[in-house]
Amino acid sequence: MTDNGRISVQGTGSVSVRPDLARLRLRCLGEDDRAASAFDACSSATAAVIAALREAGADDGDLSTSGIALSQRHDDSRYIGMNTLVVTVRPPERAGQVLAVAVEAGGDALAIDNIQFDVADDTEERSQARAQAVLDARRIAEELAAAAGVRLGRLISLEESGGWIAARPVGRMLSGAKAPVPVEVGDQEVAVSVSAVFEIASDASA
């Protein structure tokens, strides 16, 4: 838009990148009429899953607990214990194999919330996307200036207004698989958005 002799625009840039890791969000559940028993069942299932994952090659740094909960259902007053575990898998193509190991160890006590692919270091791709976003902002500003019959002047301000990876979480799945789960990694987009303000050049500066 134009305002007081200025043109304000937004530009975007994106670069395709191949994820180099996957994050699995697993939940181990325990259910019983007694709170302690429900929590014990949950803890036992969690320990079995962690042991199996370590045996399959997971390092301590690849496993993290993201939540522990104990609640009571209102309909039948039974207690539910829950332990949420986040597992980082490298390379991401191993995600299906790791899921199968977890399911085999956790059995009916395990639920798989989702899978999310990510990039450990997207610095280079983000720099490329940022440069594209700046060029895109200037292109849009030049088009607006031409359409308005004015000349584009100097850049007054430039601000990065957002950057993200278009992650592709895989929907929630329940336990039950004993064979490796088919997982397609695919590519993702590293995107950056910038806001730019240009002066409208005066005739004197022509």
- Nearest by Cα to 201 from 154, 157, 148, 146: 154
User: Do residues 149 and 195 both lie within one domain?
Assistant: yes
What's the order of all strands across the beta sheet hosting 188-201?
A: 6-17, 188-201, 151-165
User: Do residues 127 and 197 both lie within one domain?
Assistant: yes
Q: Residue 144: which CATH number?
A: 3.30.110.170
192-120-167 Cα angle (round to 5): 55
Question: Is residue 49 in some structural domain?
Answer: yes
Note down the domain range covering 143: 6-17+122-167+186-205
User: Do residues 126 and 191 both lie within one domain?
Assistant: yes
User: Do residues 155 and 113 both lie within one domain?
Assistant: no
Question: Is residue 179 in some structural domain?
Answer: no
Of 89, 118, 147, the residue that ends a domain is 118
d(CA 168, CA 109): 26
Question: Is residue 106 in some structural domain?
Answer: yes
User: Do residues 111 and 134 both lie within one domain?
Assistant: no
- The count of domains in the chain is 2
**Residue 13, C-beta contacts closer than 8 angstroms, at least 6 positions apart:** 128, 129, 130, 131, 132, 133, 134, 135, 136, 191, 192
Of 118, 147, 175, the residue that ends a domain is 118
User: Do residues 13 and 48 both lie within one domain?
Assistant: no
**Cβ 23 vs Cβ 85: under 8 Å:** no
Q: List the beta strands (DSSP E) in the chain.
A: 6-17, 21-32, 63-72, 79-89, 110-118, 151-165, 173-174, 188-201
Name the residue type at position 77: S
What sign has the CA pseudo-torsion 104, 105, 111, 114?
Answer: negative
Question: Is residue 176 in some structural domain?
Answer: no
Give the predicted TM-score (pTM) of the model. 0.74
Question: Is residue 197 in some structural domain?
Answer: yes
User: Do residues 27 and 101 both lie within one domain?
Assistant: yes
Q: Residue 30: which CATH number?
A: 3.30.70.2970
Question: Is residue 177 in some structural domain?
Answer: no
User: Do residues 64 and 100 both lie within one domain?
Assistant: yes
| Neighbour-count burial of 199, counting CB atoms closer than 10 A to its CB (0-12 exposed, 13-18 middle, 19+ buried) | middle
Task: Quickly tell me which residue has 């990510």 as its tokens.
Answer: 118
147 phi and psi angles, rounded to 5 deg: -65, -30
- pLDDT tens digits in sequence order for the chain, 206 residues long: 444 599 999 999 999 999 999 999 999 999 999 999 999 999 999 999 999 999 999 999 999 999 999 999 988 889 999 999 999 999 999 999 999 999 999 999 999 999 999 999 999 999 999 999 999 999 999 999 999 999 999 999 999 986 666 555 444 344 444 556 778 888 889 999 999 999 999 863 43
The string over 60-77, giving b where at least 16 C-beta atoms fall within 10 Å of a residue's C-beta and e elsewhere, is: eebbeeeeeeeeeeeeee
Question: Is residue 1 in some structural domain?
Answer: no
